[in-house]
Amino acid sequence: MRHDRAEPADVFRRSDAAANAGEDGFLRDEAVELLREKQQLEQAMESRPVIDMARGVLVASFACDPEDAWEILVTVSQHSNVKLRDVADAVTSAATGKPMPAGLQEQLASAVQARQAGRRRSFG
């Protein structure tokens, strides 16, 4: 994993005075957007293991399936306005004995109850 990333705009600065300004600007904007997207994908790949571990914790703790565990994590993230990877980190940390923030604990309990109630209705 590399941490010596240059800013996207710095990578694509051009000193070619003969280049067409419009084309140069378009290409620079496209390159900056591609670098942003690449950085987002790298971040998502780095976050994936902790999210998968949190799903496993929820599956084991609440006897739900992996899809329900995913929905629980997403619901908690959306309702608490906390990034999904941070919710997942809190869930996995709680499994090792670290206290979960009260707000996330409440959102998690609510999301689990809602999923379990929904499952009972669909099988009831």
For 5-37, what is each residue's pLDDT tens digit?
A: 555 555 555 444 444 556 777 888 888 888 888
Domain interval for residue 117: 8-123
Label residue 83 left, alpha or beta by phi (over 0 means left) and psi (-120 to 50 means alpha): beta
Q: 109-122 pLDDT, tens per residue?
A: 999 999 888 776 66
In a domain, 105, yes or no: yes
In a domain, 109, yes or no: yes
**Are 119 and 68 spatial neighbours (Cβ–Cβ below 8 Å)?**
yes
Tokens representing 111?
Answer: 């999301």
**Are 67 and 91 spatial neighbours (Cβ–Cβ below 8 Å)?**
no
Place of tokens 């995913």: 70
What is the C-alpha separation between 78 and 118, in angstroms, rounded? Answer: 19
Q: 88-99 pLDDT, tens per residue?
A: 999 999 999 999
In a domain, 100, yes or no: yes
Tokens representing 116?
Answer: 């379990």
In a domain, 114, yes or no: yes
Number of domains in the chain: 1
In a domain, 1, yes or no: no
Q: What is this structure's pTM?
A: 0.66
pLDDT of residue 15: 45
